[in-house]
Structure 1
């Protein structure tokens, strides 16, 4: 996905060096002040490249990290420092104030909107089944799995895919719950599940990892966003203003398409218009 985009990536990186985000952080927001005092923005992620991960030296990296850090810079907030955790521990950790925000790759869902304040969307994708090469069981999506109780589906514990699978009628007995993406791939390759359900761009270089991607064309468009505590909604609004600038300046597109090579900017652009209600939180 990245191999033919080196030029776009270079253009994007040069663009970042030539602009600075306007500062909207003049309100004395309590969260902003606490992060400045600590000299860091504490964040929770899972090992989920290309969205978010850590380098061999422990530095946070990935598309979501880059976008979040650019928005924080515009607010005069420090860069994020990350703690690796599981998906189901992220929101409880946020509410317990172990983290300032969660840029981990959480999909916006109605249930999550009840307990956290999401930023505007910064990704767009459909769910996909990651299967063995050749798709030996000829799977096409959740609905087909629900009709065949012999099919096993691996899902991340606490993920939106787990909840959606249940809503689609897939029984709990069919679900193989795994702690991270690497375990999901290993479960399929080891024959303990027929497929692993996760977002269509979530597994980089899937062929090198021994799986094939089958997009569920019946699945809705889903978006990831940065999660904040409900009481930090004012800071979230200021963060959203920075995201609006990143969209209008072209910086977000430079990251999304140029640096990381995601092919569906037109889809993302439709769900990231400033002022829109966050999809899934209506």
Structure 2
């Protein structure tokens, strides 16, 4: 997605299944799959400099890491990785496409060097990997029919109105809904926000929950649906703001720290926002949160 605002989310997100397990020539090298040979252990940063290539675990999902309509390997996390790893002395990047749920297992089994998928940082994941500080923070939003006839602006509203609720596979929004009191057995799980939009437009569900970024992107050309104003989910009485970042193996602290040094400099200079902005991010989604805060 070289110029994301010019493309539709439907075209991009539908490429997720196409990307899985398929060898495709990308902008910087051939795509691998999660079944490739394992990467040698050792000083990862030194090895990457020697190899001049870093392998990135991606989930084939816009706007984080995917193939655009021109067949180019791109995404906010991908473009950020290209810049930072070049400054670390690693000029080439090679994507390794896998299902989102396989990203952390694939990283820890050395099928790639780093997860570059805009992954939310939370305690459960922090028990398995180490994160760089987040490149963005994110609130939630609902996809609803135009005019929001049921007045759905929070998970509590979903419970109050007994609205038919849907969200995506593996989404954090599943836990937020359950925490608010939505019965787990009543949650409809759909493939992605495009499927969610279609379900809302057809009346199969009343609401599809996702991030504010994907919500406003997917409804851009819809005549029937809209995205609600962004909001922070309330969990155990506290507002929850998520942040997404790069994940590394627990032994790769040197690589993570070098990456952090670069991302902090880019935040300070404004370069980070300039990279993320074409993918639909706003200034309100830039963040000073740290991985340590989010892991706690």
| TM-score range relative to shorter protein | 0.7 to 0.9
Structure 1 Cα separation of the partners of residues 105 and 196 of structure 2: 23
Aligned length in residues: 251
Residues 216 and 253 of structure 1: is their aligned pair in 2 closer, same or farther, counting only changes over 3 Å? Answer: closer
Residues 18-57 of structure 1: CA distance to partner in whole angstroms, max 9, x if unpaired? xxxxxxxxxx962234445555322232343233321235
1:263 aligns with 282
Residues 99-119 of structure 1: CA distance to partner in whole angstroms, max 9, x if unpaired? 221121211122211112111
1:168 equivalent to 2:180? Answer yes
**2:141 aligned residue (122, 128, 132):** 128
Q: Secondary structure at the match of 1:51?
A: coil
Q: Secondary structure at the match of 1:140?
A: coil
In structure 1, runs of 5+ residues without a counterpart are: 4-27
Judge conservation of contact 1:87–1:157 (CA < 8 Å) in 2: no
Considering only aligned residues, what root-mean-square deviation do their CA atoms show, in Å? 2.7
Greater per-residue strand proportion: 2
1:213 aligns with 227
Matches within 5 A, 1:128-147: 128-147=141-160
Q: Secondary structure at the match of 1:241?
A: helix
**2:118 aligned residue (90, 93, 105):** 105
1:244 equivalent to 2:264? Answer yes
Residues 192 and 44 of structure 1: is their aligned pair in 2 closer, same or farther, counting only changes over 3 Å? Answer: farther
Higher relative contact order (CA 8 A, sep 6+): 1
**Please, what TM-score do these two structures have when normalized by structure 1?**
0.77
Structure 2 Cα separation of the partners of residues 55 and 183 of structure 1: 19
**Please, what TM-score do these two structures have when normalized by structure 2?**
0.74
Structure 2 Cα separation of the partners of residues 85 and 192 of structure 1: 29
1:235 equivalent to 2:249? Answer no
In structure 2, runs of 5+ residues without a counterpart are: 7-40, 234-239
Structure 1 Cα separation of the partners of residues 62 and 151 of structure 2: 27
**2:244 aligned residue (221, 224, 249):** 224
Structure 2 Cα separation of the partners of residues 190 and 79 of structure 1: 44
1:194 equivalent to 2:206? Answer yes
1:81 equivalent to 2:94? Answer yes
Matches within 5 A, 1:25-44: 30-36=43-49, 39-44=52-57
Residues 48 and 83 of structure 1: is their aligned pair in 2 closer, same or farther, counting only changes over 3 Å? Answer: same
Residues 45 and 139 of structure 1: is their aligned pair in 2 closer, same or farther, counting only changes over 3 Å? Answer: same
Deviation at 1:269, TM superposition (A): 4.0
Residues 131 and 54 of structure 1: is their aligned pair in 2 closer, same or farther, counting only changes over 3 Å? Answer: same
Residues 162-217 of structure 1: CA distance to partner in whole angstroms, max 9, x if unpaired? 22222222211221122333333333333332222111012425231453111353
Q: Secondary structure at the match of 2:295?
A: coil
Structure 2 Cα separation of the partners of residues 114 and 143 of structure 1: 30
Residues 163 and 229 of structure 1: is their aligned pair in 2 closer, same or farther, counting only changes over 3 Å? Answer: farther
Residues 211 and 47 of structure 1: is their aligned pair in 2 closer, same or farther, counting only changes over 3 Å? Answer: farther
Structure 1 Cα separation of the partners of residues 100 and 200 of structure 2: 20
Structure 1 Cα separation of the partners of residues 67 and 122 of structure 2: 26
Residues 176 and 83 of structure 1: is their aligned pair in 2 closer, same or farther, counting only changes over 3 Å? Answer: farther
Structure 2 Cα separation of the partners of residues 60 and 194 of structure 1: 34
